[in-house]
């Protein structure tokens, strides 16, 4: 019975909580838009004005990367959710 319950929990963990994490694009990193410029001189000033931040959303299972522009508030929320999932 316990085994079934564990399997069930694993199943729910895999589906309900997507295993991905966010990595912030640092100011000195190349900008995500492929301009060849650094983030800090490209999209960063605009994002800062709008309270947004560019991040890489990385899947732990496929290592697939997606660029996301999230509000700082949203990222905080996601970050905590993902963090608690990872550790
Ligand atoms: Zn850019």
Contact 4/12 with Cβ under 8 angstroms? no
Q: What is the Å distance from ligand 1's center to 68 Cα?
A: 13
Those residues whose C-beta lies under 8 Å from the C-beta of residue 26, and which sit 6 or more positions away, are: 39
Q: What is the Å distance from ligand 1's center to 31 Cα?
A: 5
| pLDDT recorded at residue 82 | 54
pLDDT exceeds 50 at position 86: no
What are all long-range contacts of 9-13, with beta carbons under 8 Å and residues at least 24 apart?
Answer: none
Q: Domain ranges in the chain? A: 19-86
pLDDT in tens, 25-73: 999 999 999 999 999 999 999 999 999 999 998 888 888 999 999 998 8
Q: What is the Å distance from ligand 1's center to 70 Cα?
A: 15
């Amino acid at each position: 019975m316990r085994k079934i319950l564990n399997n069930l929990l694993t199943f729910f963990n895999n589906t309900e909580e997507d295993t991905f994490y966010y990595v912030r694009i640092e100011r000195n990193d190349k900008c995500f838009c492929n301009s060849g410029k650094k983030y800090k001189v490209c999209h960063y000033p605009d994002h800062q004005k709008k309270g947004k931040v560019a991040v890489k959303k990385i899947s732990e299972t496929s290592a697939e990367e997606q660029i996301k522009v999230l509000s700082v508030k949203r990222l905080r929320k996601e970050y905590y959710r993902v963090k608690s999932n990872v550790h």
